[in-house]
Each structure stands twice: as C-alpha cells, then as structure tokens.
C-alpha cells in the first residue's frame, strides 16, 4: 500500500512536536525541579509565620515565582560549572549537558537569564532585603559552593547548607523587610537538617563522588565519623525546631515537631548502629525520612498560624 502524503506530513509534525517538548524538558531538568519544590515547601510557611496569617496572594505568588527562578538559575549554572565532573558520576550522567541535549553556552545563558528575571521580579514587588538575599543565595551557591568549596573541602555540605536554608529568610524578609529570631531559628532547622539528609545521599553515591574527585565527607572520612555527624546534626535540627515552639507557637506545631523529630533522631541513630555493626547501612532510609520530617515540620508551622 502506498503511503499517503498526509500521513507522512502528520508523522513529521508529530516528530517535530516531540523534539520541541524534549528540549523544553531538558531545560526544565536543568533547574532540578525536585530541589526547587523542597525549597518552596519551607518558604511559604515562613511567610505565613512572618505575617501571622496569610500574606497577600500576590506577594506569595511573586516569592514563589521569583524563588523558583532563583533556585532554577542556581541549579542551571551549577550544571554548567559541573559539566566536567557530571559525566563521571552515574547519578548525574544523564543531565542535559552530559547527553548534549543542551550546549554549555545555552545552559549558562538560560541560568543567567533566570537569575536576572528573579532579581528584577523580587526588586519590583518585594523589598531590598529579600532581593539582596535572593541574589546572595544564587552567588553563594554557584561561586562559593559549587565552584570552590564543593571541590576543595570535606566540609562542603556544611557550608553549602547556607544557601539551602536561605529561602526561609527570603520569604520572611519579603513579608516584613526584617529578620526576626523565629526566622533565624527556621533557617537553623533547614541548615542543620541538610547534613544528615545529604550525608545519607553521599553514602549511597560514595563511589561516584570518589570517581569525580569530590572530597565529600563520606569519601575522605571513616563511616563512623559520617554516622556520628549525622546523629549530631539530627539532634541539632530537632533542638532548633523545638526552640521555635516558645516563640508564639502552639502544640499544633510543637507536638508534630517533637514526635517527627524523635523518629528522625532514631533513624539517624539506626544508621550509626548499622554502621558500627558492619551491616548494610541503608542510608536512603534516613534520606527519605528526613524529607518527610522537614515537610511535616513546615506544614505544621503553616497550620499553627491559623489555629
């Protein structure tokens, strides 16, 4: 049977459409949307606590979009900077620059464009403090952490925790143009939380980091040292979260923070125990529970505002 010209044209059109969507998907993956989602989970509750209620929907939209652009910019530029080591690690070997779906130049332009867009959006509709913190977060993550600390010190996770916790301060500043003690404590929760969270991931992908020459703590230190630090930082995370309780919060926040914090600490101790016994460490158990913990604590923060 001869092929109809119309069918050929439709097939060609379908292929072009798929190719366009593939490019769009590649650019979206540059922004690491799962990380962006996690950052936004902490931002909105911080804004609600700062406002002692629901901030204006317009302000929340601006901060959500501006924050997403800023995080996406930082992540896209991170992919550009790390394009030499990403092919060496299985976890990052499918990123768009590695697979040549996007050129390094286009990735950099995309990241810088998002950075400019986020800065302009925050400057136009929030205040100088929130805008300055947004710019600082992008610069810190890409210039100080990615290009320098990540490759030179085993304490890179600790110092990288600063930019990961910045959305809390940005959201609070957008509402009040100031930073109260509660804002700094919520910042501390996210900051300390990142160590057990990312140490667990670094244990899982230890060989990848070693192959790429990244001096993660899991690569250069003993498993016992990593497990001990995971326990210490899990305790610091929970202690900091409970320090928020007396600052006008009720048991709607305090009880979930206490209960979930207890499970978080138990899981960190479980990782330590398995490490010392020479058993399968199962680090992703701590990784996934830490994500659930942070989500529950910040959802409880938001709910407490309205009780």
The structure's pTM equals 0.93
For residue 22, what pLDDT is reported?
Answer: 81
What's the count of helices (H) and strands (E) in the chain, helices before strands? Answer: 13, 0
* Integer CA distances (angstroms), 72 to 29, 47, 64, 167, 265, in order: 9, 20, 12, 13, 31
Residues of the chain with pLDDT under 70: 1-12, 14-16, 19
**What secondary structure letter does DSSP report for 53?**
S
For residue 65, what pLDDT is reported?
Answer: 94
For residue 231, what pLDDT is reported?
Answer: 98
For residue 40, what pLDDT is reported?
Answer: 79
Write the pLDDT tens digit of every residue in 71-83.
999 999 999 999 9
Kindly state the tokens that stand for 282: 């199962």
For residue 17, what pLDDT is reported?
Answer: 73
Write the pLDDT tens digit of every residue in 129-139.
999 999 999 99
Distance CA 53, CA 42 (A): 16
Distance CA 102, CA 123 (A): 30
For residue 4, what pLDDT is reported?
Answer: 58
């Amino acid at each position: 049977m001869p092929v109809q010209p119309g069918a050929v044209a439709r097939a060609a059109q379908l292929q072009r459409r798929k190719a366009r969507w593939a490019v769009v998907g590649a650019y979206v993956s540059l922004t690491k949307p799962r990380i962006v989602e996690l950052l936004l989970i902490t931002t909105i509750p911080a804004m609600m606590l700062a406002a002692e209620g629901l901030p204006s929907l317009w302000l929340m939209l601006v901060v959500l979009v501006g924050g997403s652009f800023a995080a996406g910019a930082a992540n896209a530029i991170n992919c550009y900077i790390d394009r030499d080591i990403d092919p060496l690690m299985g976890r990052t070997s499918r990123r768009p620059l590695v697979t040549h779906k996007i050129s390094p130049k286009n990735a950099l332009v995309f990241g810088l464009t998002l950075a400019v867009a986020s800065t302009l959006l925050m400057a136009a509709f929030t205040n100088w403090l929130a805008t300055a913190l947004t710019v600082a977060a992008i610069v810190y993550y890409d210039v100080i952490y990615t290009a320098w600390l990540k490759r030179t010190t085993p304490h890179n996770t600790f110092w990288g925790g600063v930019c990961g916790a910045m959305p809390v301060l940005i959201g609070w500043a957008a509402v009040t143009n100031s930073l109260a003690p509660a804002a700094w404590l919520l910042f501390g929760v996210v900051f300390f939380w990142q160590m057990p969270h990312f140490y667990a991931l670094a244990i899982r992908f230890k060989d990848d980091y070693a192959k790429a020459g990244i001096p993660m703590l899991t690569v250069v230190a003993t498993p016992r040292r990593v497990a001990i630090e995971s326990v210490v930082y899990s305790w610091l995370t929970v202690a900091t979260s409970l320090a928020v309780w007396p600052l006008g919060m009720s048991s709607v926040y305090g009880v979930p923070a206490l209960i979930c914090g207890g499970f978080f600490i138990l899981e960190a101790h479980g990782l330590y125990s398995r490490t010392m016994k020479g058993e399968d460490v199962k680090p992703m158990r701590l990784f996934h529970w830490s994500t659930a913990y942070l989500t529950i604590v910040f959802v409880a923060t938001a709910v407490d505002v309205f009780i």
